[in-house]
Structure 1
Amino acid sequence: MSAQRKERAEEENREEENKVEEERRDDEEDFEEAMREFASSTASRRKCEPPKLQMIPKIPEAVDDFLRNFLRKLGMSRTLRSFEAEWYGSAQKLQTESLRMTCAGVSFIPDALTHRQLLHSELQEVHRETDLLREEVLAAGERLGRMQREADFHRLQYRRVQEEKNRLINDFKKLKKHLESYEPALKQLDEKYQTALSQKMLISIEKERVKSSINAQPNQEKPQMKKERSIKSGDRPDKSPEKSNNMRYPKFPDPHLAQVSFETCKSSFSLSCSVRAHQLPISCIDLHPRKMVLSSASDDHSWRLWALPADGEKVGQMVMTGEGHSDWLSGCSFHPEGAKLATTSGDSTVGSSLHYSPVSSDLLVLSMILGRFLLQVRLWDFSRGCCVLMLAGHTQPTWGCSFHSCGHLLASCSADRTIKLWDLNRASCHLTLRRHTASVNSVRFLPFSDLLLACSADKTLALWDAKVGLCVATFQGHQHPCNHAAFSLAGGIAASCDTCGVVKLWDIRKPSSATATVEAGQQAANQVAFSPSGKTLAVACSDGLVRMVDVASLVVSSLSGHSDGVQSVTFDHKGETVISAGSDGSINVWS
């Protein structure tokens, strides 16, 4: 047992010695590495520093030299000569002569004290370099710790990005499967649509054939046929000719066919309603995103909401009005949700009031209107009946505004040559865009996009990325100041008009030059608006006419009904109605 214990103790001792030896080797390796780094850093510093001049590179330490210097300092020259004669003898006569010349005053012979001083200076230099090396080692340790922390951070970021990538891949696969599940239903609906369309075509052909056969019969047979039809209708009063026609020729509603019929019948527009909305000129109108409700801004310091007339009605009904401005209003724009309205004005006063008009319950969804007055920004709250917020930003009157499709961002333009993007959640200015050299007259967001189109009196248009605040394209081609610009909802087309009645069409993907130019009259063109299909362009002209431009053929037709210049124009949601307002204070509805 004792032998086993001794062997175990010896093994433990050997293990401890091995551990100590390994630690010593690690320390020696670290020390050698530090010395190599120190040597490299010292060598680099010595390369940069100029070499120091040493007067005495090596000083021999001898007793005879010490005695010789001592006697010389005391001025005992005879004793020095006697010492040298006795010390060296006749064999060292030449060396004695040289020493005498040295005593005559050339230089001191180095001694142990001087050698000690030189060694002390070298020791101080070594200490200084050691301190520098220590500082460098500490700095390297700090850098190493910082790099390790950065590596850990980037490693965590990489893991997070990898997890996000995997999650997106899984979502993409799920969406792909979901889309594939819809393909049979879409195919079935397409087959139904094609079947219905073919049935409609067959019915129309049958109808034309019956009409042609009736027209081909002699004239004397027509009264008899009418008499027989009247007798049949009298025998069966529950089935009128209209009902029989509906049963015989069923109608299949198709929104695409409705748009085509509208676009191909531009010349059939007629004035269906005219409302005296304001006593002074109307500067701008805008349509509610979902309802047939129109907002108007006027020079009489007020804005109003109007319920557009339905079929068979002749007069629109005023929904509500807001008063309190001290100067003219220049623009208005509905919030994408339809419950707010942004307006721009040239006033800078405080104080406002709201007045309601009796309306139906379905129009009470407009419970709040946001008023932006830049110079001043005002927030109108209908539940309180007063202005609850005002912001200031522009230094000169503002000409227009437009909401982003998210509803939290509003763009406004001003005569101070700037465009401001307002964060409605923070009630503050998010960005200020500066590029134009003259007044910015209109701004318009592309729906469901961050692109913002602006036109200016410097005869140019600019396309901005509102997310980063950069100008991505510039459109040049107008010879006169631009008044307004608008996007087409059907594609990447934009239109602009200037003060001499020139309308230009642009491809926003190729801003080098205009794709088409249309003359819309001898006087100024104040505003342009595309139909929902993008096939027709309405232009508000100062000569009192609304000009309709077919985008494909560039054929121009006119609508007359205003007694003064037309300032604003827009389409309804289906493109079947054109609404215009002008300096005569009236709103005209063309259908």
Structure 2
Amino acid sequence: MAAQQGASVSPLRALEEALGLTAGGDATEEAEGTYYLEQVTITEGSEDEYEYEEIPDDNFSIPEGEEDLAKAVQMVQEQSTDAEILEQKTVLPSKHVVPEVIEDFLCNFLIKMGMTRTLDCFQSEWYELIQKGGTKLRDAGNVPDVYIQNMHLDNENKTLKKDLKQWKQAADKAREDLLKTQKERDFHRMHHKRIIQEKNKLINELKGLRLHYASYEPTIRVLLDKHHNLLRQKMLTTMERDKAIEQISAYQSSSKTMDPWNGYQDTKVRGIPSYKKEFASEGPTQRALREAREQYKSKLKMKERRKDSEFPTDMQPYISRCLPRGNDSPAKFDYLLSTIFRLHDLPVSCIVVHPSKDMLVSCGEDHLWKAVGLPNGNVLLTGTGHTDWLSNCCFHPSGNMLATSSGDTTVKLWDMTGGNCTLTFEGHKHAVWSCTWHSCGDFVASSSLDTTSKIWDVNSERCRCTLYGHTDSVNSIEFFPCSNTLLTASADKSLSIWDARTGKCEQSLYGHMHSINDATFSPKGHMIASCDSCGVTKLWDFRKLLPIVSIDVGPSPGNEVNFDSSGRILAQASGSGVIHLLDLQSGQIYKLMGHENEAHTVVFSRDGKSLFSGGCDGTVRVWT
């Protein structure tokens, strides 16, 4: 077979061309692509006048000598064998059986590398095997592509590693969940054991109390019998006394003399005064009822004599005290914790500074309020009278009275000279959160958990108006300085502005997304500040009733906000224990860190040089 670079010709095809069978013979090709060779004899008597020339065989020569003669005989035998093979009918395999692609690849590779001897050996051995039928190409199958197989194995390995990683992560997460569940199980098991121990302890104590009570039962029965006997004796004594009084009255009536001008003459019978003669026949129960009825009538007459206060339309005596005082000193932000006053056993809910004296009042959840002298912190007065926690307090514009609100649903007024309660307002159905004085000093307003606010008249001692409109707890209330306008903040996320004379809501402000805990006016009255339960503080333009700015210092709740006397600094008491100071000119926020727990209230001193804050640990902290 003659092979060239890029293409190859099979040796069998070359042999056919050499014999001239493919061009002029009678070779036939069947449908399956199989070739048959037949021997053709050309006779001399052919009519073809073509002259054939003899082709000399240059390669065939008879060697000389005996050895050469043996080789010549062998060569002749091989040629005769080849002729016999040619005479036989040869069946060639189909083209698709021979892997020509592999054959061409090998031949081209050997030619390119110059390995001609290897090429000759390969061709000879390959086609000899094919001719002898020594190979079964169909059974050999396709030669596997190692690179593709390696690539598939690599992809499969990557997939398995990825699955292994996922399963490992799932196993780690399951292990963490298992540990967490085991810890929760152990915790609940210990809690269950503790509850069982407490239950057994209570059962034992209950058994002991029952035994102890059983030991007192005979004594209790004896005392009950004595009590019933005493009641019977008291009843008999009362009946005998009433009978004796009737006899005395009858005897007295028979011995009286008639005065034609003055009626019966006033006399004394057995020490009974004459002004009690007409009630001498009354029993003790009737007498007590009559006296209570008279006292109630006298109170009603006193209230009727007291007139309702009028809402002011002009300046009042205390109007100068409610105006903000000028503060020419520069704003101060570098407050430092200087003193801690431990005043209450429970959290401090409110701090107010006296309008003219160096004194502050703190209210606590221990049912007490305390007046503290500054700067020493000595307790001057202690107010007791509320039966539940105190929520807020406010000084009268003159500073002589104090109003407090409490969880016992009442508002009390206190005299600051002696610390005595002078008046109690009752009417709210739930806890009262806040209270505030009118600038004239004749009215007190309060807000409550029952979604209402009330305006109380100090002179007539009654509720003048109830403000309805909020749909949730009203957490804060404050009078606008020197006016009849009220500001309320509610848990329904809204602020409302009311006319105290009519009790109508004039305007509502919306913008907070959570419950509003506190709201206050600036000293000049042109701005409103409010804070909610997520630490968002908002500033509102009171003249335009529009929001100005919103500051988020959360997520801890803002419990209270207050301006300093200049109106430049806004302080906020946060649930995280941080006191935030907002500079309204630059917008910068300063933080005061000193409370260990939640801060409930914050207030400035009159001159702005000090700051007071109260926390849930029952202390009042002074910042200077």
Q: TM-score, normalised by structure 2?
A: 0.47
Report the structure, 1 or 2, having the larger helix content.
1
Q: TM-score, normalised by structure 1?
A: 0.49
